[in-house]
Amino acid sequence: MNKRDGFTLLETLISISLLAIVLIAVYTALISGSRGYQRVEEGWHIYHTGYSILDMLRKEVLSIDKNIKGIKRDVEGKRMDEIDFIGFCHNHWIGKALEGDASEIGYFVKENEEGGYSLFHRDDFVIDEDLTKGGRIFLLSDKVDEFKISYYYNKNWYETWPPLGKSYLPEAIEVELTLLDSKEKEVKFSTLIPLKR
């Protein structure tokens, strides 16, 4: 009887082929899982940014005293509005600085170096006659496609505030923010903020 030790060439080729198929399947699963994770992370980032901006704006708008200035701006057929007001939710950036709770707060859009648009937040604890100047400016997002603010008063919507000759607060403010994700797809956010009168 002739006893053979080891594997034949055919058995070895079949084993290597099966191993290659298993390795390709594992590699494909890892790559698609990694791509899926990246897509989820990119999506999460844009939603986190949008909701965080609206949440911050909501908190600050709810602290409005009397002064509010809303400007409608059209840029390339899109709204890039601006809002400035005096609010009572000043962030104390310097430990024990002599700063009160009231501050001038503003949100505005400017064109950035890449040709897109960026949304900025302005906070100035020195209250003066010009609500639109001074203070610290912070970038909120550099992926803005549209920033639209509407003001509701007495069953009417206004694109600017205050209307001619009026000095009261609106009953509500609606903010619509559109950001662009990593694939330049529009992601829309909105909030309606009722104001106490």
pLDDT tens track for 54-91? 999 999 999 887 788 999 999 989 999 999 998 887 55
Per the domain annotation, does 21 fall within a domain? no
162: preceding bond cis by omega (within 30 degrees): yes
Contact 49, 56 (CB under 8 A): no
Per the domain annotation, does 34 fall within a domain? no
Task: Please tell me the distance from the alpha carbon of residue 183 to that of residue 143, in angstroms, as a whole number.
Answer: 11
Per the domain annotation, does 25 fall within a domain? no
What residue numbers bound the domain in which 144 lies? 43-194
Per the domain annotation, does 51 fall within a domain? yes
Q: What is the pLDDT of residues 90-113, one digit of tens each?
A: 555 555 555 667 889 999 999 999
**Confidence (pLDDT) at 112:** 92
Task: Please tell me the distance from the alpha carbon of residue 163 to that of residue 160, in angstroms, as a whole number.
Answer: 7
Task: Please tell me the distance from the alpha carbon of residue 93 to that of residue 90, in angstroms, as a whole number.
Answer: 9
Per the domain annotation, does 2 fall within a domain? no
Q: Which of 79, 76, 70 is nearest to 107 (CA)?
A: 70
Cβ-based neighbour number of residue 8 at 10 Å: 9
Task: Answer with the residue of higher pLDDT: 15 or 96.
Answer: 15
- Across residues 168-184, what is the average pLDDT? 92
Per the domain annotation, does 13 fall within a domain? no
Q: What DSSP line would sit under 16-34, residue for residue? A: HHHHHHHHHHHHHHHHHHH
Contact 101, 89 (CB under 8 A): yes
Per the domain annotation, does 14 fall within a domain? no
Task: Please tell me the distance from the alpha carbon of residue 49 to that of residue 46, in angstroms, as a whole number.
Answer: 5
The one-letter code for the residue type at 40 is V
Q: Which of 126, 117, 45, 47 is nearest to 82 (CA)?
A: 117
What pTM value is reported for the model? 0.75
Contact 69, 131 (CB under 8 A): yes
Per the domain annotation, does 158 fall within a domain? yes
In percent, the amount of the chain with pLDDT more than 70 equals 90
Number of domains in the chain: 1
